[in-house]
Amino acid sequence: MSKLKGIFFDQDGVIIDTERDGHRVSFNETFKAFGYPFEWDVEEYHELLQIAGGKERMKHYMDEKGTTAGMLPEAVDEQIKKMHKFKTDKFIEMIESGQLPLRPGIRRFMQEANQAGLVIGVCTTSDVKAAQAIAYKVLADVRLEFVLAGDMVTKKKPDPEIYNLALQKCGLGPDECIVVEDSRNGLLAAKNAGLRVIATTNPYTEKEDLHESDLILTCLGDPGGEKAVLVKGGPIPSFDGVLHVAQVAALF
């Protein structure tokens, strides 16, 4: 087994708990601003998360509601594009105002990876502006080699394209890298690229089928904060509710 050289992170639900109180709220503000009479509640948005990508999610929903009936395809695409830009701006405002804190352990774990000389990249289906706002502002003290977002690939998770692109970017093999994911779509994308996966669950994904993951934890854990619960995998030597990069490197 090759030595660990790189770690790729999903963004939404892994780096920040963005979905319920970030993206969902921003989508609802967008619908209101554009005059649409619907609002996604917590459970409905959970179901919609099975559709990867914000623009794809909106189009699917609006098609089902009949609000795009009679519109030319190019007109629908243009409307979705305008709405998604508005939504992204709202979401970035939330990020920059500090309304959405980092998940437990993520900054510490990334900094440990930096200190170990590992390649770190972000691979998300989110908009590139939102991804960069988190990567280069909220995580300004973490050295990232690259940030890959949804619009940089033709197929979104569960397709492995974004993780294959990450491997090409850093010139590493799948046996030299691991992925931190939180959802089944993300897990499948990573596994289909031949990568090992650490799953950190959140309220939206804790009941999803993540059994193919090599490790499953409730979070990465912080020494002075929320501790991680190991759900699957291991054993991890000296594990005390805080997962360290050194432990991962030894385990894999």
By the 8 A CB rule, do 95 and 130 touch? Answer: yes
Helices and strands of the chain, counted as H and E runs: 9, 7
- The DSSP call for residue 98 is T
Query: Which amino acid is present at 166?
Result: A
Phi-psi region of 46 (alpha: psi -120 to 50; beta: other; left: phi over 0): alpha
Exposed e or buried b per residue across 68-86, where buried means at least 16 C-beta atoms within 10 angstroms of its C-beta: beeeeeeebeebbeebbeb
Type of residue numbered 246: A
Look at residues 241, 215, 238 and name the one whose alpha carbon lies nearest to residue 226: 241
Whether 12 is a known active-site residue: answer yes
Tally Cβ neighbours within 10 Å of residue 129.
Answer: 14
What's the token pair of residue 215? 């490790």
Does residue 10 carry a catalytic annotation? yes
Q: Among 12, 17, 214, 222, which one carries the catalytic annotation?
A: 12
Q: Are 95 and 117 in contact (CB under 8 A)?
A: no
DSSP label at 19?
A: I
CB–CB of 76/59 below 8 Å? yes
Supply the residues annotated as catalytic: 10, 12
